[in-house]
Chain A
Amino acid sequence: MKETFKEVPSIWTTGWTDILNTGTWRSAIPFYQKRLAPCHCACPVDGEIPTWIMLARKQHYREAWSSLVDNNPFPAVTGRICHHPCEGACNRREYDGAVAVNALEQFVGDLALSEGWALPQPTVALDQKIAVIGGGPAGLSCAYQLKRLGYKVTIFETRPELGGVLRYGIPSYRLAKETWDGELRRLEALGIEVKLNHSVKASDLSGLEKEYSAVFLALGAQSSKTLPQFSVDNLRVFNGLDFLEKVNRGEAPPLGQDVVVIGGGSVALDVAGTARRLGSQVKVLALEARESLPAQPDELTESLEEGVEILAGVMVQNVGISFETLSLHCIRVTLDENSPAGVLRPIPLSGTEFSVSATNVILAVGQDAELTGWDSVINVGQSLVRVDANLATNRPGIFAGGDVTPAERFVSTAIGQGKKAAQSIDKYLKKPYSKGISSKDTQTSQDVVAYQEINMFYFPEQNREEKGTVAVEERLKNFAELKIGFSPQQTQTQSERCFSCGNCVECDNCFYFCPDMAVVKDSSLTEHYRILDQFCKGCGSCVQECPRGAVVLKEETGR
């Protein structure tokens, strides 16, 4: 037997196993990775929803608000009127109901207003000036982001006040004036130059180009569509946007007892609710079938509660005019399934004619952009400004976004576009222009966390709560907000329902479930945890036990 090597004692131990390298056993290693939550993916302003909900849950409301206003300067607004595609995409929907993201946003936004939190001032001051044409949600959002980046910004607004649909289109029972004012004042405090009552025509463009380094066109779609059955001269026929604007300015036109609203979207229902509050009986006639109405489901519910009668799948064929009333001769229709997207082709069902009489008819059948003359300076197609993926028009330095471009017609979409345009303008001005798309957080993986990756054991069932609503009799008396936002307790319990898909919340499950203690907590890392190369055997327990898919197993090659 060899006597030359150092003799290891045969009994009684002398040391510990942590000098052994069991990491050589594995073929895959866990990898912490912020992954896309489906809500974030669906959010039109690219909001970091799991992040701000987690902050709200911890009652770090100020920080939650800071996260929200990174992407959107008006959380109190969107917390009221956003169409919340986040909730539609929410992984919790399949389990026991989506997280009430919209209501949570409203709570934080309202708190910011009552606490008087200010938006942070820009830290640099750049020389370049940018012109933003249009003071609606897209324009304001773009101006805000550019201001944050340090640019000088001037907004040109046709009307006497900023806001666009936020000021003139949305009834105050959806968005209280004080709330809107609060949000706007905070933005104005950043020092953006505003020229009100100032229309910009296509011919002004070259002049603007000399004075400004870039221009963002956010003209909106403010030209109401008409229907051939209704003469524009008839004093008893209004267009919806016009009607809403007048009411918002305090100049409501007189309405008779029987108002008929034509259209099935949010504008139509806003018109209907407004008319109800002004004292009229209201019917809504829409081409679309009840299930396919473009309005939001809760808007529809509210309208029905308020006594609005919805006649879906109906077309007005012609109108009989008498001194007191209009007779609408209607027929039931179905929509051609084969018609191109966005085009409604009604197919009348013969023998279903009926008549409706109205003292007033308000048309809310869609809006077009008013682009007369613009097609000589930039590309315009199908009545909308043509833009590329960076929201650039064909004319260098001229960008466009919001309802004037082919975008979904939602306020939050417009806000998102404004932000994106600001980022594009910034890149355009800072480096040679490239067609690259502005990147999201490069660390975030592009695969979205699916419901199957959530470990339900860690989420006991807890019902989703809805915002409260004021009783119908009270609602109809005035234009006060019909929805009641969450209380702090509701905010707490409802924010606790967020799975935080793909976003580590330092629950420490990975740390606790490792039989080899190969997961180490490290607060200096953004990932919060470190895997010990020497010990990890690649079993994947941490991955399986992460309730939210924030850690994945990656094959290791070439070790």
Chain B
Amino acid sequence: MNKNNNRILVNGNHAVAYGVRLAQPKVVPIYPITPQTPIVEKISEFQAAGEMVVELMTAESEHSAMAACITASLTGVRVFTATASQGLMLMHEMLHYASGARAPIVMFNVNRTIGSPWGFWPDQTDSLAQRDTGWIQYYCEHGQESLDTVLQAYRVAEKVMLPAMVMHEAFYVSHALDIVEVPAQEMVDQYLPDFNPLHRLDPEIGESWGNTVNQEMFYRHRRDLGLAMESVINVAQEADLEWRELTGRGYGIIEEYCCEGAELVIATMGSMVGTARDAVDNLRKEGVPVGLIKVKLFRPFPFEAVRQALRGVPKVMVLDRNFAPGTGGFLHQELKAALYGLERGPAIHGYLTGVGGTNISPTNIAALVREAMSTQPVTSSVWKG
């Protein structure tokens, strides 16, 4: 199953770099920002050592880096970039531009708090605040998943022609060492076909891109983009299944963990899932009927999958390491919307845990589970440290 595999001890960011190397992008615009810099540094090392043949463009800002990604992608080559927090904010205009251009860029974003005030701490608000930009979004739990998801993301993005961003959190994943299996190049080449878009900037074709359109064209364009986004549900699942066949590792678009007979299911994303897994194991040992769903694919939101997973479950406790003033936790809000009208749908507690990067331990989570099980939920997200 995994011939010629290579198990290495690396931090999450470097794991991503290994994944990118396997994808063989041709143009990588880079700009440093804590805590993603090790990704682009590692890629630079690969290039300098001749292990990657890639045009590295040291942009003067993330906005320019994304601008270059779009055009390089439209010229018909695979591209990659990485950023975090402020950099992602600065790119915001271009994120919309990229999805509107149907450019299948894959970007890695290390979730970090957004100023002001300044901080470098794990917090998913930066990428979640981009949920409306038309990008596919994946949230990863650990370095291996980040590596695997980068490759799945290229496969999905290039199939539906939409850009994709893959996330893991600052320091907890980005800088934490882990054992990671690096798949063989030949296997990845099998998995990822050559990128050869039908429409591109090419004097042999002569097509231009970017003219002002009328209202009717704009409407159709948005509708087409929406349809492409919807199709990601199936495409992502297929991509993940095939990956599992090739490597033995699959993640699904959501994962249900110990949900059999659960009275309460924890719902969360990213590194918090890892902590919650421990909490669930501990609680189950104590006989508490608790389960966990990990939302991996956040955009498009897997409505059907979560509805199916949570039908008949009495309670859901959402743990959000993120926060939007006025609505609360993002997953809390999205889940409520997804579950609206579901017969025998759960009551939902929304807890804000770890906003700003505060440490949440399995013990904290266990306590929250007990509290949630014995209280009535309120509409808004509740601050829980």
Across the interface, which residues of A come within 8 angstroms of B220, CB to CB? 7, 10
Q: How far is it, in angstroms, between the C-alpha of A221 and the C-alpha of B213 when the chains are bound?
A: 83
A12 on the B face (CB < 8 A): yes
Residue from the list A8, A10, A13, A14 in contact with B224, Cβ < 8 A: A10
B370 on the A face (CB < 8 A): no
- Verify A11–B216 contact, CB threshold 8 A: no
B207 on the A face (CB < 8 A): yes
Residue from the list A1, A7, A8, A12 in contact with B207, Cβ < 8 A: A12
Across the interface, which residues of B come within 8 angstroms of A12, CB to CB? 199, 207-209
Minimum Cβ distance to chain A for residue B370 (Å): 53
Q: How far is it, in angstroms, between the C-alpha of A7 and the C-alpha of B211 when the chains are bound?
A: 16
Contact with A along B95-109 (1 / 0, CB 8 A): 000001110000000
Across the interface, which residues of A come within 8 angstroms of B100, CB to CB? 11
Q: How far is it, in angstroms, between the C-alpha of A7 and the C-alpha of B217 when the chains are bound?
A: 8
- Verify A10–B218 contact, CB threshold 8 A: yes
- Verify A10–B207 contact, CB threshold 8 A: no
- Verify B208–A10 contact, CB threshold 8 A: no
B219 on the A face (CB < 8 A): yes
Closest to A9 in B: B217
User: In A1-26, which residues have CB < 8 Å from any B CB?
Assistant: 1, 7-14
Across the interface, which residues of B come within 8 angstroms of A8, CB to CB? 217
Q: How far is it, in angstroms, between the C-alpha of A10 and the C-alpha of B220 when the chains are bound?
A: 7
- Verify B221–A1 contact, CB threshold 8 A: no
Minimum Cβ distance to chain A for residue B86 (Å): 30
Across the interface, which residues of A come within 8 angstroms of B213, CB to CB? 10-11
Q: How far is it, in angstroms, between the C-alpha of A110 and the C-alpha of B260 when the chains are bound?
A: 117
Q: How many residues of chain A are within 8 Å of chain B by beta carbon?
A: 9
Q: How far is it, in angstroms, between the C-alpha of A13 and the C-alpha of B100 when the chains are bound?
A: 15
Q: How far is it, in angstroms, between the C-alpha of A10 and the C-alpha of B221 when the chains are bound?
A: 6
Across the interface, which residues of B come within 8 angstroms of A10, CB to CB? 213, 217-218, 220-221, 224
Interface size class of B (residues with CB under 8 A): 10 to 19
Contact with A along B180-218 (1 / 0, CB 8 A): 000000000000000000010000000111110100111
Minimum Cβ distance to chain A for residue B160 (Å): 15
Contact with A along B40-64 (1 / 0, CB 8 A): 0000000000000000000000000
Across the interface, which residues of B come within 8 angstroms of A9, CB to CB? 217
Across the interface, which residues of A come within 8 angstroms of B219, CB to CB? 1
- Verify B218–A11 contact, CB threshold 8 A: no
Residue from the list B207, B216, B217, B218 in contact with A14, Cβ < 8 A: B207
Which of the listed residues B100, B217, B218, B224 has the most CB atoms from chain A within 10 Å of its own CB?
B217
- Verify A13–B207 contact, CB threshold 8 A: yes
Q: How far is it, in angstroms, between the C-alpha of A58 and the C-alpha of B82 when the chains are bound?
A: 67
Minimum Cβ distance to chain A for residue B201 (Å): 10
Q: How far is it, in angstroms, between the C-alpha of A10 and the C-alpha of B105 when the chains are bound?
A: 21
Minimum Cβ distance to chain B for residue A12 (Å): 5
Closest to B221 in A: A10
Across the interface, which residues of A come within 8 angstroms of B208, CB to CB? 12-13
Minimum Cβ distance to chain B for residue A5 (Å): 9
Q: How far is it, in angstroms, between the C-alpha of A12 and the C-alpha of B202 when the chains are bound?
A: 12
Across the interface, which residues of A come within 8 angstroms of B221, CB to CB? 10-11
Q: How far is it, in angstroms, between the C-alpha of A127 and the C-alpha of B153 when the chains are bound?
A: 99
Across the interface, which residues of A come within 8 angstroms of B209, CB to CB? 11-13
Closest to A7 in B: B220
Across the interface, which residues of B come within 8 angstroms of A11, CB to CB? 100-102, 199, 209-210, 213, 221
Across the interface, which residues of B come within 8 angstroms of A14, CB to CB? 207
Q: How far is it, in angstroms, between the C-alpha of A10 and the C-alpha of B208 when the chains are bound?
A: 12
- Verify A1–B199 contact, CB threshold 8 A: no
Closest to B206 in A: A13
- Verify B101–A1 contact, CB threshold 8 A: no
Closest to B222 in A: A10
Q: How far is it, in angstroms, between the C-alpha of A13 and the C-alpha of B209 when the chains are bound?
A: 7
Contact with A along B214-234 (1 / 0, CB 8 A): 001111110010000000000
Q: How far is it, in angstroms, between the C-alpha of A7 and the C-alpha of B213 when the chains are bound?
A: 13
Contact with A along B134-173 (1 / 0, CB 8 A): 0000000000000000000000000000000000000000
User: In B282-338, which residues have CB < 8 Å from any A CB?
Assistant: none
Q: How far is it, in angstroms, between the C-alpha of A11 and the C-alpha of B221 when the chains are bound?
A: 8
Across the interface, which residues of B come within 8 angstroms of A1, CB to CB? 216, 219
Across the interface, which residues of A come within 8 angstroms of B207, CB to CB? 12-14
Q: How far is it, in angstroms, between the C-alpha of A7 and the C-alpha of B223 when the chains are bound?
A: 13
Across the interface, which residues of B come within 8 angstroms of A13, CB to CB? 207-209, 211
Closest to B74 in A: A12
Q: How far is it, in angstroms, between the C-alpha of A9 and the C-alpha of B214 when the chains are bound?
A: 11
Minimum Cβ distance to chain B for residue A512 (Å): 25
Across the interface, which residues of B come within 8 angstroms of A7, CB to CB? 220
Q: How far is it, in angstroms, between the C-alpha of A9 and the C-alpha of B213 when the chains are bound?
A: 10
User: In B214-262, which residues have CB < 8 Å from any A CB?
Assistant: 216-221, 224
Q: How far is it, in angstroms, between the C-alpha of A13 and the C-alpha of B199 when the chains are bound?
A: 10
Minimum Cβ distance to chain B for residue A556 (Å): 30
Closest to A8 in B: B217
Closest to B217 in A: A10
Q: How far is it, in angstroms, between the C-alpha of A94 and the C-alpha of B211 when the chains are bound?
A: 52
Q: How far is it, in angstroms, between the C-alpha of A278 and the C-alpha of B218 when the chains are bound?
A: 99
Q: How far is it, in angstroms, between the C-alpha of A12 and the C-alpha of B207 when the chains are bound?
A: 6
13 A-B residue contacts at CB 8 Å? A1-B219, A7-B220, A10-B213, A10-B218, A10-B224, A11-B100, A11-B209, A12-B199, A12-B208, A13-B207, A13-B209, A13-B211, A14-B207
> A interface vs B, CB < 8 Å?
1, 7-14
Known: A10-B220, A13-B208; 10 extra A-B contacts, CB below 8 A, are A1-B219, A7-B220, A8-B217, A9-B217, A10-B213, A10-B224, A12-B208, A13-B209, A13-B211, A14-B207
7 closest A-B pairs (Cβ-Cβ)? A10-B217, A10-B221, A13-B208, A12-B207, A12-B199, A10-B220, A13-B207
